[in-house]
Amino acid sequence: MSQAHLYRTVAELHIANINQGFLSTLGLGFVSLMYRAIDEGDDSVLLVARVNGQAVGFVAGATGMKPIYKRMLRHWPQLFWALLPSLFSPRRVWRIIEILRYSRGSGGTSGTVLPAAELLSIAVAPAFRGQHHAENLYQELCEHFLRHGLPAFKIVVGSALAPAHKFYRRMGAQPAAEIEVHQGSASTVYVQTLPWVP
């Protein structure tokens, strides 16, 4: 599988399985480019679960989104065409601005000090759930952050995503703050302290 094909497959998994998130509405081109930028950086990581060579799940983590967005700008022609449809929607433009504000650390955590490292996204194809792929990917991300000397990481979870809340609590993450990445839409910030203990 080529790298371009891998990023497209990961983007398809994201759009199909994290379909309540705003990023999915920005289209396959944008999401593919985002995962390329995540994979290309030393400050971010993309880990993929494979079965018989097929990508069936992934987890992405980083110590901040700002460097990822900068790497995306290096591929500005693809980024422009990927975002062009959204530029005609004032609502989408405003939500993009909200995400950029959050990535600069202005998400509003009521003074709570949170880790810089973050689990950005995790997804497993429905046909491969219940086979411990999500748990294994989560553990791999924990081990990655530990190797880089990071003692904890955060996870932002929309308030309506009950299965995600259940998963992160089961994995040992603890709720630490409430924020609004998008106006009028609450999210819980979980913190996973390392070393990871399931």
Q: What is the pLDDT of residues 33-89, one digit of tens each?
A: 999 999 999 999 999 999 999 999 999 999 988 898 888 888 777 877 777 766 656
Q: Parse the chain into domains and list their residue ranges.
A: 3-193
Q: Give the model's pLDDT for residue 87.
A: 65
Give rounded-to-5 percent helix, strand, coil for the chain: 50, 25, 25
Q: Identify whether the C-beta of residue 36 lies closer than 8 Å to the C-beta of residue 6.
A: no
Is the bond into 126 cis (omega within 30 degrees of 0)?
Answer: no
| pLDDT class of 127 with cuts at 50, 70, 90 | very high
Residue-wise pLDDT tens digits, 146-198: 999 999 999 999 888 899 999 999 999 999 998 776 555 678 999 999 986 55
The single-letter DSSP state of residue 51 is E
Q: Give the model's pLDDT for residue 197.
A: 59
- Which stretches does DSSP call E strand in 2-124? 44-51, 54-62, 118-124
Q: Give the model's pLDDT for residue 79.
A: 76
What CA–CA distance (Å, rounded) separates 138 from 172?
11
* CA-to-CA dists, residue 178 to 64, 135, 159, 188, 189, angstroms: 19, 25, 9, 5, 6
Q: Give the model's pLDDT for residue 156.
A: 92
The single-letter DSSP state of residue 23 is G
Q: Which of 47, 92, 44, 86 is nearest to 65 (CA)?
A: 44
Q: Is the pLDDT of residue 107 over 60?
A: no
Q: Give the model's pLDDT for residue 17.
A: 92
Which structure tokens are listed for 186? 């609450």
Which structure tokens are listed for 138? 């989560």
Q: Give the model's pLDDT for residue 108.
A: 46
Identify the burial level of 52 via C-beta atoms within 10 angstroms of its C-beta, where 0-12 means exposed, 13-18 middle and 19 or more buried. exposed
- Of the candidate CATH numbers 3.40.630.30, 3.40.50.300, 3.20.20.370, 3.90.550.10, the domain formed by 3-193 belongs to 3.40.630.30
**φ, ψ for residue 129 (rounded to 5)?**
-75, 160
Q: Identify whether the C-beta of residue 49 lies closer than 8 Å to the C-beta of residue 124.
A: yes
CA neighbours within 13 Å on the CB side: how many for 190?
Answer: 20
